[in-house]
């Protein structure tokens, strides 16, 4: 092969032993040229000194010296080869690490390796000594990086090659012998290996979070389908029930459809918002997972340790286990529409009220009363379904959840979304309070029950005085004395309604409520009233067949 510039063939400057351009060339007595280190290595490994080219032997080991003139020619040829190697095909692209040696000559040549000992990046041509010279072969080479100076200890100007586990930082060897002498110190390679194991677990955790959110997306989408089916069913039922009514009913029917469609649109918007939020979290988790996977395969241990803290912590996310989506139910829509009809439509209204009660009862929940919240005078049944008034105070722990001195109790379970329905048998009691309250209500001292304080309740006093504790409170004129009271909560709609279950009649509705925390069923069995009010309040089983 011709040499650069077509001046001399490359073989003229190539050692027959190492097949590289001469380094410190010497000439044997037989006239052949070799690298000084190569011929000495050959003769040191044999009992006879022979020429590797012509095989001529020498009786004694010849004295050889560096051929200075030939060395200058070989060095010049090597430089020509290096310059030729830096061809346009090796030109660095924007953003790539360049060879520091070529850069000094204002040439942008792509680096192939970076040396952590020399703190220099080399192209393939300038990397040649690190592959040939024995001492340079001991240097640490890695994939080219552009921040070699950041790998030096700013205090001692030495390579950062150790990691302090006590202070979680990279240090140099001199640091481990001074201010970090008593600390737990390992090599950055060992620490990086350990962190990669942690990263693999974190990556798996992120993948699990992705799967959980994908599952939540599927849940929301399925609930949206149920919502659509529920809305269609509501409209079909309203059509069937209202078809026989007069023109005024038909006009209200159009309004009913409009309200149902608005609720369905609200359900779709809520589902879309939750899906968008979940997908955003999924993208962030996938991005971090991908970065962890890429980082786990790098040899750049320092970069790994510097980037790892910002990647291993999960991003801020919503507590999705507390979020649920329920099919929209237009509770109260028909009631509000039909309440405006005249007395001639009572038969149809009774039919509609029965259907409405059935729809609400579909959301019946199992209410179990919480003894940790019960006033010391309250006697709870073993199954947590009855709350009576005792004559004597029970000795119970004084905890923050317990009501005192107000005689009341909450359910064990609270609700953060959706719709719930429960029934309380009040029988012939003369005093009672019941409804729902928010979790953060005041439980110590005297309490004023009203929505501003987190109470949505109705009460009975003196056997016949019914009142809704709204702001202001509302006196209730009921046609009969309820034996069982139904309570319905629509969290998203902000509605709390009360019903006489036996008569299927509406008692009172709190509307426009704003819920932002858990809501709990609330009962108060009231005073003894000279022995007339000793019967307990009972959580009644919902009979869906009525």
Task: Tell me the range of 294-308, 336-350, 470-484 where mean pLDDT is highest.
Answer: 470-484
Q: How confident is the model at residue 160 (pLDDT cuts 50, 70, 90)?
A: confident
Model confidence pLDDT, tens digit, residues 275-316: 888 888 888 888 877 887 777 777 776 667 667 666 666 677
Q: How confident is the model at residue 73 (pLDDT cuts 50, 70, 90)?
A: confident
Model confidence pLDDT, tens digit, residues 478-501: 988 999 999 999 999 999 999 999
Give CA–CA dist 84/393, Å, rounded.
100
* Radius of gyration of the chain from its Cα atoms, rounded to whole angstroms: 43
Sequence-separated (6 or more) residues with CB below 8 Å from residue 283: none
Give me the pLDDT at residue 245, please.
Answer: 53
What letter would DSSP give residue 39? H
Helix (H) or strand (E) holding 365: none
Whether the ω angle into residue 472 lies within 30 degrees of 0, i.e. cis, is yes
- Residue 129 three-state SS: helix
> To 5 degrees, how large is the angle CA 439–CA 460–CA 429?
105
Give me the pLDDT at residue 349, please.
Answer: 52
Q: Which two tokens stand for residue 432?
A: 């009672």
pLDDT over 70, % of the chain? 82
Give CA–CA dist 371/290, Å, rounded.
50
Q: Which two tokens stand for residue 352?
A: 């509609």
Write down the mean pLDDT value for the chain: 82
Q: Which two tokens stand for residue 130?
A: 């690190």
Residue with tokens 């409804």: 435
- Residue 519 three-state SS: strand
Q: How confident is the model at residue 84 (pLDDT cuts 50, 70, 90)?
A: low
> Where do the H-state alpha helices sit in 58-99?
68-85
Give me the pLDDT at residue 337, please.
Answer: 46
Give CA–CA dist 484/498, Å, rounded.
10
Give me the pLDDT at residue 188, please.
Answer: 82
Give CA–CA dist 393/437, Å, rounded.
24
Q: Which two tokens stand for residue 522?
A: 């609330």
Q: For residue 148, what are the β-bridge partners?
A: none
220 has a pLDDT exceeding 50? yes
Number of neighbouring beta carbons within 10 Å of residue 398: 8
Give CA–CA dist 14/74, Å, rounded.
9
Give me the DSSP letters along 423-487. EEE-TT-S-EEEEEEETT---BS----SGGGTEEEEEEETTTEEEE--SS-EEE--SS--SEEEE
The mean pLDDT of 391-401, rounded to a whole number, is 84
Q: How confident is the model at residue 374 (pLDDT cuts 50, 70, 90)?
A: very high
Whether the ω angle into residue 405 lies within 30 degrees of 0, i.e. cis, is yes
Give me the pLDDT at residue 120, please.
Answer: 85
Alpha carbon distance, N-terminus to C-terminus of the chain: 102
E strands, 116-177, are 120-122, 141-142, 160-164, 169-172
What percentage of the chain's residues is helix, strand, coil (to nearest 5)?
Answer: 40, 20, 40
Q: Which two tokens stand for residue 358?
A: 């059935």
348 has a pLDDT exceeding 90? no
Contact 259, 321 (CB under 8 A): no
Indicate yes or no: pTM above 0.85: no
Contact 318, 213 (CB under 8 A): no
Of 56-65, 142-151, 229-238, 490-499, the poorest mean pLDDT is in 229-238
- Residue 70 three-state SS: helix
Give CA–CA dist 408/400, Å, rounded.
14
Q: How confident is the model at residue 95 (pLDDT cuts 50, 70, 90)?
A: confident
Give CA–CA dist 303/144, Å, rounded.
12
Sequence-separated (6 or more) residues with CB below 8 Å from residue 59: none
Task: Tell me the range of 105-109, 203-207, 223-227, 357-361 where mean pLDDT is highest.
Answer: 203-207
Give CA–CA dist 125/21, Å, rounded.
13
Sequence-separated (6 or more) residues with CB below 8 Å from residue 224: 267, 268, 271, 325
pLDDT over 90, % of the chain? 31
The mean pLDDT of 340-345, rounded to a whole number, is 48
31 has a pLDDT exceeding 90? no
Higher pLDDT, 494 or 155: 494
Give CA–CA dist 25/68, Å, rounded.
8
Q: How confident is the model at residue 107 (pLDDT cuts 50, 70, 90)?
A: confident
520 has a pLDDT exceeding 50? yes
Number of neighbouring beta carbons within 10 Å of residue 344: 8
On the 0-12 / 13-18 / 19+ scale of CB atoms within 10 A, 515 is buried
What letter would DSSP give residue 89? G
> To 5 degrees, how large is the angle CA 390–CA 392–CA 395?
105
Instruction: Print burial letters for 47-83: b (CB count within 10 Å at least 16), e (below 16).
Output: eebebeeeeeeeeeeeeeeebeebbeebbebbebbbe
Q: For residue 389, what are the β-bridge partners?
A: 378
Q: Which two tokens stand for residue 231?
A: 């809305």
């Amino acid at each position: 092969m011709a040499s650069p510039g077509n001046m001399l063939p490359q073989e003229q400057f190539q050692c027959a032993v190492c097949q590289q351009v001469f380094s410190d060339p010497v000439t044997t007595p037989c006239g052949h040229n070799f690298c000084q280190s190569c011929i000495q290595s050959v003769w040191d490994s044999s009992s006879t000194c022979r020429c590797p080219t012509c095989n001529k032997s020498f009786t004694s080991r010849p004295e050889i010296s560096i051929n200075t003139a030939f060395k200058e020619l070989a060095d010049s040829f090597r430089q020509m080869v290096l310059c030729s190697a830096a061809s346009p095909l090796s030109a660095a692209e924007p953003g790539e690490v360049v060879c520091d040696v070529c850069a000094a000559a204002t040439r942008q040549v792509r680096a192939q390796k970076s040396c952590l000992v020399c703190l220099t990046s080399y192209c393939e041509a300038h990397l040649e000594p690190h592959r040939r010279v024995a001492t340079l072969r001991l240097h640490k080479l890695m994939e080219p990086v552009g921040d070699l100076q950041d790998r030096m200890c700013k205090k001692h100007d030495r390579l950062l090659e150790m990691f302090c586990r006590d202070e979680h930082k990279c240090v140099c060897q001199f640091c481990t012998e001074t201010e970090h002498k008593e600390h737990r110190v390992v090599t950055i390679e060992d620490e990086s290996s350990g962190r990669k194991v942690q990263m693999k677990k974190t990556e798996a955790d992120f993948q699990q979070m992705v799967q959980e959110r994908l599952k939540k997306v599927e849940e929301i989408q399925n609930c949206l389908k149920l919502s659509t089916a529920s809305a269609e069913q509501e409209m079909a039922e309203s059509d069937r029930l209202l078809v026989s009514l007069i023109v005024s009913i038909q006009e209200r029917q159009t309004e009913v459809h409009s309200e149902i469609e608005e609720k369905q649109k609200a359900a779709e918007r809520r589902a879309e918002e939750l899906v968008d939020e979940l997908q955003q979290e999924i993208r962030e988790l996938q991005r971090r997972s991908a970065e962890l996977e890429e980082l786990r395969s790098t040899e750049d241990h320092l970069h790994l340790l510097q980037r790892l803290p910002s990647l291993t912590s999960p991003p801020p996310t919503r507590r999705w286990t507390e979020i649920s989506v329920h099919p929209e139910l237009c509770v109260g829509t028909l009631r509000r529409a039909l309440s405006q009809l005249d007395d001639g439509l009572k038969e149809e209204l009774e039919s509609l009220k029965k259907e409405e009660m059935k729809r609400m009862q579909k959301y019946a929940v199992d209410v179990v009363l919480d003894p940790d919240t019960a006033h010391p005078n309250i006697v709870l049944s073993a199954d947590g379904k009855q709350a009576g008034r005792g004559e004597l105070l029970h000795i119970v722990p004084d905890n923050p959840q317990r009501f005192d001195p107000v005689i009341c109790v909450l359910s064990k379970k609270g609700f953060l979304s959706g719709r719930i329905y429960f029934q309380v048998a009040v029988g012939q009691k003369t005093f009672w309070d019941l409804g729902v309250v928010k979790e953060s209500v005041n439980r110590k001292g005297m309490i004023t029950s009203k929505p501003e304080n987190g109470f949505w309740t109705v009460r009975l006093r003196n056997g016949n005085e019914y009142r809704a504790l709204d702001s202001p409170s509302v006196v209730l004129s009921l046609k009969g004395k309820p034996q069982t009271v139904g309570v319905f909560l629509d969290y998203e709609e902000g509605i709390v309604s009360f019903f006489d279950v036996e008569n299927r009649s509406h008692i009172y509705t709190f509307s426009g409520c704003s819920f932002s925390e858990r809501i709990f069923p609330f009962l108060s069995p009231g005073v003894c009233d000279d022995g007339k009010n000793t019967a307990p309040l009972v959580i009644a089983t919902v009979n869906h067949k009525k």
